[in-house]
Amino acid sequence: MSEDVLSHSESSSFRARCRAFLELHATAGDPLTFADNQKFLAAARVAGLAGIPYAEQYGGAGLTLAHEKIWREEKASFPYADRMFIISHGMCLPMINEFGSVEQKERFQADMIAGRTLWSQLFSEPGAGSDVASLQMTAVRDGDEWVLNGQKVWTTYAHLSHFGLLIARTDASLPKHAGISMFVVDLKAPGVEVRQINQIDGGREFNEVYFSDVRVPSDNLVGDVNNGWRLATSMLMYERVTIGSGLSEQFAHPFFDILVDGARSQGASVDPIARDEITKIYILETCKSLIGLRTQAEVKAGKTPGPGGSLGKLFGSVIAWKYRSIAGEIGGLGAVAWEDGADPMGALRASVVNSFRDGIAGGTDEIQRNIIGDRVLGLPREPVVDRDVPFRELKISTAKQSSK
Amino acid sequence: MKFGFSEEQDELRRQVHRFLEEKSPESEVRRLMETSEGYDPAVWKMMAEQLGLQALAIPEEYGGAGYGYVELLIVFEEMGAALLCSPYFSTIALAANALLNSRDEAVKAHWLPKIAAGEVIATLALTERSGRWDLDAITTKATATENGWMLSGEKLYVLDGVVADLLLVVATTDQGLSLFAVNGDADGLERSTLSTMDQTRKQAKIVLDATPASLIGVDGGAREIVETTLQLACTAMVAEQVGGAQRVLDASVDYAKNRVQFGRPIGSFQAIKHKCADMLLEVESAKSAAYYAAWTADSRDEDLGLVTSLAKSYCSEAYSHCASENIQIHGGIGFTWEHPAHLYFKRAKSSELFLGDPVYHREVVAQRLGI
């Protein structure tokens, strides 16, 4: 992919083109359906604005990363336009592009870009969350195919997806990281069963995906056998870039806005302690925004960025913890009990329950603190008991104990 | 507003850092702590002559170097990290800012060049026995007599009040809040040193009894001057707090890497590791808030009052918390006088309360946000 720098007039005219397209085809603020997302992407394909940095021979627009940056900046004002493709396009597509064989790219890439297929990431398992490398799904070679058995969990949008990138164990005699391979899986294949998870916020975007003797053609192996962990690591880097470091590059006070709305709609003046707590949230959100702005300035100036980039996700969760503790005071009883058709505290309540996601999904707070401590502060790591032990000798969660 | 530092600013930081490493090591901090003046006149002179620190943010027309609040932030950050014992904060963050905002050209032309040259130590005398920082709490009175203005009253918590050559005193007249210049050796002026938890910074009680003073600016016109001065002083204070917070984080991480218990460094235990990660989050946030305050003081394209109060409340709590955790991570040795951890904690606690405490400043933020 080309990183070419654009001239000022090239930038402005491309930006104008993006904006014109978005204003016609995306609706700011509406949570669009999957069908709407697909329609949007099909139109983008026609307009030459789909798969911007990807090669034309694989269905992309053949432009540069500079174009992609402009497109993303403009699309940020229309967050729901292709929201459901965030994993598909943000993680699976770059992986196929970078690590897929020519044949795989020919088979999959164009459909991914045009939104004709939706992809999921299948890593986590019931027994392998923070420690995803301890996964137990097996892939056993049988002639020209691999046979997959096991279960994945927390698979976003699996109930809508056509394909996925999955990691499974191909050699249990090796230590856990060393015996994993990555496959493209067809989620409509026989033996695949998708069940939506009932979440505490009432949503059902996450799924369990069961694999019972699912046969996967050997052409669907991505990269080399037993090299899957390295690929998984690369995919997690794309995740960090896509879903973000948690840092935005402008001032944003989302929880504060909800609290102030809530306080105002209560009618009565907010008591001094509650005012103090709301102000604390404002201050924390300001600091978080500033870290993003400083990090951006450092990158732009070509300096080595400080630790700010590693702090965004944890910071967001820290703020959520504080928010949850104050939101009840502001919301009052009306936040937890309401009549149909009169629910002014709905947004406050929803964000209270939903915000647990911030500290768990994509790396828990505890894992984030470990990463910050180890990699940013250089603290010594905890002793590890399972790194060099053959997988089949490890003690793991939810494993069926062998009879030996 | 720029959110980064220039090469020149980075070089200033390196210079000040090197100077303080040499001239203000822990041994010097401990030595000066025990004195009543609380500073080394030879070092004060070097600061002026070798580094031009007193002149740094004073405009060129008054003999200064004409830099701004971001350069000052860098200097104060390094000074806070080193716990420098010096009347630099009082002279520059309090007095010089008051003079610069006074709109009294004669007074500025008289005092600022002397301050820039390091010839005069100055301070602001505002708080009284109530310890309040809001301007409605001032009871010190100024009376106009045939011999000029006379001040009567009592000021407490005056930074470097005993060694100051010049005291800028906030008092009320019939017209309202006013600012006065009082010589350190004026008649009817009694100065005594307070005992302080933070011995690295000296505070005085000042008793004024028909003390002669000269009016600065307009009679009754000091409210805005003092408010702006306090806001600008906050940008310096939060810089010190950030410097100190980073230093205690470094100390915690260093100890966690080296202290071995149960067969491994204590930093390999998650309880300690997670404390350090949380401290880093606070330090980076505090830095961001402090830098934002300085950038605003220079650019004035945001509400200075909101931004400085935001920074003061956050940086105060962050520094105090990090300094506390630093003691905790050090365990028993952190509870000894000989270990520097308590020096930072005590500076943090004092700074938390000076110029208004976090609750006070958050109320300012709440009002300015219109909550």
Average confidence score pLDDT of chain B: 97
Q: How confident is the model at residue B233 (pLDDT cuts 50, 70, 90)?
A: very high
Residue B228 lies in a domain: yes
Average pLDDT score over residue span B210-238: 97
Q: Please, which residues have CB within 8 angstroms of residue B237's CB and are 6 or more apart in sequence?
A: B76, B89, B93, B312, B315, B351, B354, B355
B287-345 tens-digit pLDDT: 999 999 999 999 998 999 999 999 999 999 999 999 999 999 999 999 999 999 999 99
First-to-final CA distance of chain A: 53
Q: How confident is the model at residue B362 (pLDDT cuts 50, 70, 90)?
A: very high
Q: Tell whether the model's pLDDT for residue B277 goes beyond 50.
A: yes
A276 → closest Cβ in B257, B270, B359: B359
> Which chain B residue is nearest to residue A374, measuring alpha carbons?
B273
- Residue A257's CB is within 10 A of a number of other CB atoms, namely 14
Which residues form the domain of B253?
224-369
Pair B108, B129 in one domain = no
Least Cα separation, residue A9 to chain B (angstroms): 25
Least confident among A19-33, A262-276, A308-322: A262-276
Dist. CA A352–CA B134, nearest whole Å: 37
pLDDT score recorded for residue B367: 94
Q: Please, which residues have CB within 8 angstroms of residue B348's CB and are 6 or more apart in sequence?
A: B241, B244, B245, B316, B319, B320, B322, B323
B368 CB neighbours in chain A (<8 A) are: none
Dist. CA B315–CA A312, nearest whole Å: 19
B286 CB neighbours in chain A (<8 A) are: 287
pLDDT score recorded for residue A165: 98
- Specify the length of chain B in residues: 371
Closest Cα partner for B269 from A369, A25, A162?
A369
Q: Tell whether the model's pLDDT for residue A169 goes beyond 60.
A: yes
A283 → closest Cβ in B273, B278, B314: B314
Q: Tell whether the model's pLDDT for residue A240 goes beyond 90.
A: no
Contact criterion met (CB below 8 Å) for B139 and B183: no
> Which among A279, A298, A374, A382 is the top mutation candidate for probing chain B, defined by the most B β-carbons within 10 Å of its own β-carbon?
A279
Dist. CA B73–CA B295, nearest whole Å: 9
Q: Is A60 helix (H, G, I), strand (E, B) or coil?
A: coil
pLDDT score recorded for residue A238: 84
Contact criterion met (CB below 8 Å) for A137 and A149: yes
B292 CB neighbours in chain A (<8 A) are: 286, 290
- What's the CATH code of the domain at B345? 1.20.140.10
Largest pairwise CA distance in chain A? 73
Dist. CA A226–CA A224, nearest whole Å: 6
> At CA B260, angle to CA B254 and CA B261, rounded to 5?
135
Q: For residue B60, what are its two tokens?
A: 């060129």
> At CA B214, angle to CA B210 and CA B220, rounded to 5?
95
pLDDT score recorded for residue A2: 64
Dist. CA A32–CA A236, nearest whole Å: 27
Least Cα separation, residue A101 to chain B (angstroms): 41
Q: How confident is the model at residue A398 (pLDDT cuts 50, 70, 90)?
A: low
- Residue B130's CB is within 10 A of a number of other CB atoms, namely 11
Residue B63 lies in a domain: yes
pLDDT score recorded for residue A131: 94
- What's the CATH code of the domain at B179? 2.40.110.10
Contact criterion met (CB below 8 Å) for B99 and B214: no
Average pLDDT score over residue span A211-231: 98
**A367 interface with B at CB cutoff 8 Å:** no
pLDDT score recorded for residue B177: 97
Pair B257, B359 in one domain = yes
**A247 interface with B at CB cutoff 8 Å:** no
Average pLDDT score over residue span A139-162: 97
Average pLDDT score over residue span B234-262: 98
Q: How confident is the model at residue A244 (pLDDT cuts 50, 70, 90)?
A: low
Q: Tell whether the model's pLDDT for residue A28 goes beyond 80.
A: no
Identify the domain boundary among B165, B188, B221: B221
User: Is A293 in Cβ contact with B274 (below 8 Å)?
Assistant: no
- Rounded to a whole number of angstroms, the CA Rg of chain B reads 21
> At CA A285, angle to CA A284 and CA A288, rounded to 5?
90
- What's the CATH code of the domain at B45? 1.10.540.10
Pair B212, B231 in one domain = no
- Rounded to a whole number of angstroms, the CA Rg of chain A reads 23
- The answer to whether the Cα torsion of A195, A199, A201, A206 is positive or negative is negative
Domain count, chain B: 3
Q: For chain A, which domains are there?
A: 8-81 (no CATH), 120-242 (2.40.110.10), 254-361 (no CATH)
Pair B362, B233 in one domain = yes
How much of chain A, in percent, has pLDDT values that exceed 70? Answer: 96
Output the DSSP codes for B215-246: EESSTT--HHHHHHHHHHHHHHHHHHHHHHHH
Dist. CA A351–CA A324, nearest whole Å: 9
User: Is A308 in Cβ contact with B273 (below 8 Å)?
Assistant: no
Full-model pTM: 0.93
Identify the domain boundary among B120, B142, B160: B120
Residue B1 lies in a domain: no
> Which chain B residue is nearest to residue A272, measuring alpha carbons?
B363
**A377 interface with B at CB cutoff 8 Å:** yes
User: Is B253 in Cβ contact with A377 (below 8 Å)?
Assistant: yes
**A302 interface with B at CB cutoff 8 Å:** no
User: Is A283 in Cβ contact with B365 (below 8 Å)?
Assistant: yes
Average pLDDT score over residue span A372-376: 96
Q: Is A239 annotated in the active site?
A: yes
Pair B143, B207 in one domain = yes
> Which among B238, B261, B268, B273 is the top mutation candidate for probing chain A, defined by the most A β-carbons within 10 Å of its own β-carbon?
B273
B363 CB neighbours in chain A (<8 A) are: 272, 275-276, 279
Within 318-337 of A, beta carbons closer than 8 Å to B belong to 318
Dist. CA B15–CA B11, nearest whole Å: 6
Output the DSSP codes for B42-107: HHHHHHHHTT-TTTTTS-GGGTS----HHHHHHHHHHHHHHT--STHIIIIIIIIHHHHTS--HHH
Distance of alpha carbon B219 from the chain centroid: 27
**A249 interface with B at CB cutoff 8 Å:** no
By DSSP bridging, strand B166-173 and strand B122-125 are: parallel
Dist. CA A310–CA A375, nearest whole Å: 9
B256 CB neighbours in chain A (<8 A) are: 379
Pair B66, B154 in one domain = no
Least Cα separation, residue A29 to chain B (angstroms): 26
Identify the domain boundary among B221, B251, B275: B221
User: Is A301 in Cβ contact with B273 (below 8 Å)?
Assistant: no
User: Is A366 in Cβ contact with B274 (below 8 Å)?
Assistant: yes
Average pLDDT score over residue span A62-83: 90
B252-262 tens-digit pLDDT: 999 999 999 99
A283-316 tens-digit pLDDT: 999 999 999 999 888 888 888 888 888 899 999 9
Pair B261, B365 in one domain = yes
Contact criterion met (CB below 8 Å) for A45 and A114: yes
Pair B74, B48 in one domain = yes
How much of chain B, in percent, has pLDDT values that exceed 70? Answer: 100
Pair B133, B243 in one domain = no
Average pLDDT score over residue span A240-257: 81
- The answer to whether the Cα torsion of B286, B288, B293, B297 is positive or negative is positive
Pair B207, B236 in one domain = no
pLDDT score recorded for residue A302: 82
Burial A180-205 (b: 16+ CB within 10 A, else e): bbbbbbbbeeeebebeeeeeebeeeb
Contact criterion met (CB below 8 Å) for A1 and A65: yes
Average pLDDT score over residue span A220-234: 97
**A369 interface with B at CB cutoff 8 Å:** yes
Alpha helices in chain B (DSSP H): 7-23, 26-33, 41-49, 69-82, 88, 97-100, 105-116, 223-258, 270-299, 304-330, 341-353, 358-369
Contact criterion met (CB below 8 Å) for B317 and B325: no
Residue B77 lies in a domain: yes
Average pLDDT score over residue span A258-281: 84
User: Is A294 in Cβ contact with B4 (below 8 Å)?
Assistant: yes
User: Is A303 in Cβ contact with B310 (below 8 Å)?
Assistant: no
Dist. CA A401–CA A393, nearest whole Å: 11
- Residue A230's CB is within 10 A of a number of other CB atoms, namely 15
Q: How confident is the model at residue B284 (pLDDT cuts 50, 70, 90)?
A: very high
A380: left (phi over 0), alpha (psi -120 to 50) or beta: beta
B2 CB neighbours in chain A (<8 A) are: 297
Pair B115, B127 in one domain = no
Pair B97, B213 in one domain = no
